[in-house]
Structure 1
Amino acid sequence: MHVRPAGADDAEAWSALHLRCLDETYRPLFGDAFADRQQAAAGRTAGYDRALLADPDVRTLLAVDDGGTALGLVSAGPAPAAWEGRAGVPAPLVPRQLFQLYVLRAAHGTGLGAELLETAIGSADAYLWIMAGNARAERFYVRHGFRALAESYPSGGPWAGQHMHRMLRTAAA
């Protein structure tokens, strides 16, 4: 496996991987109806992915195996994201956000998630949003210096019906 920068040419593979990871992650946690809403919003997800891949301020990385099959993805960039202002959530405490980090279930436990995280943000102060109930991901981020903030916000769009909260990592923490 190796991690490489992702660009506009990767949009189709990125979105297919993103949707597969969403399904693998959230179907067991939140059920079929929730996961099916994610899949039904594939066009919205693809649009979001294309915008990330085209943004020069966002670091996008793709993990692939020796055959070129995508196994994981990560994106990080300046905060706050536009949706945060629209949602009225408090301003972030640091200027960098981990937008997404997903690894196929078959690659869980291989160190790929840690490699993607390290390559994307290193030891920089950063925050991320995490869905309430995603204990596996929360444990991963805690191992990498993040702490959950005592806040909860309802999710919108295809995420409606779930809550999310931020996790923060700072050098002072």
Structure 2
Amino acid sequence: MFWLHTPGTSSVTELWGIYLLSAYHGSGLGQRLLEATIGTENAMLWVAQDNPRAQAFYRRNGFSPNGTRKVVEDWEGIPLIQMSR
């Protein structure tokens, strides 16, 4: 998991990713990782458009789509949506 933030700046924290093996889905580990890194602070992230499970996880944690989208050609053209809180 990675997040980007420069202490002392007004920039928004960007959560770069939380990736778990499917065997750990639903275990609470992702929740604990999120809480340990960014807690409840305002942040933004990119999530695959076709990953409803991840989007639901972030919605439960106060994130919502903000209308920004992009396609990452280097990742086989995967479409992403931006979520923020």
Name 2:39's counterpart in structure 1. Answer: 122
TM-score of the two chains, using structure 2 as the length reference: 0.87
Name 2:4's counterpart in structure 1. Answer: 77
Name 1:167's counterpart in structure 2. Answer: 83
**Residue segments in structure 2 that go unaligned for 5+ positions in a row:** none
Shift of 1:151: 2.4
Q: How does 1:79-94 map to 2 (within 5 A)?
A: none
Name 1:151's counterpart in structure 2. Answer: 68
Identity level (%)? 36
**CA offsets 1:31-71 (integer angstroms, 9 cap, x no match):** xxxxxxxxxxxxxxxxxxxxxxxxxxxxxxxxxxxxxxxxx
For 2:18, the aligned partner's letter is L
**CA offsets 1:77-133 (integer angstroms, 9 cap, x no match):** 228xxxxxxxxxxxxxx5200011011111111100000000010111000011110
**Cα RMSD (Å) of the superposition?**
1.4
May I ask how many residue pairs the two structures share in their alignment?
81
TM-score of the two chains, using structure 1 as the length reference: 0.44
Higher relative contact order (CA 8 A, sep 6+): 2
Distance 1:149 1:156 in 2: 21
The structure whose residues are more often strand, as a share, is 2
Distance 1:104 1:161 in 2: 23
For 2:2, the aligned partner's letter is S
Structure whose CA Rg is larger: 1
Q: How does 1:5-154 map to 2 (within 5 A)?
A: 74-78=1-5, 95-154=12-71
**Residue segments in structure 1 that go unaligned for 5+ positions in a row:** 1-73, 80-93
For 2:55, the aligned partner's letter is E
Q: Which runs of 4+ in 1 moved over 3 A?
A: none
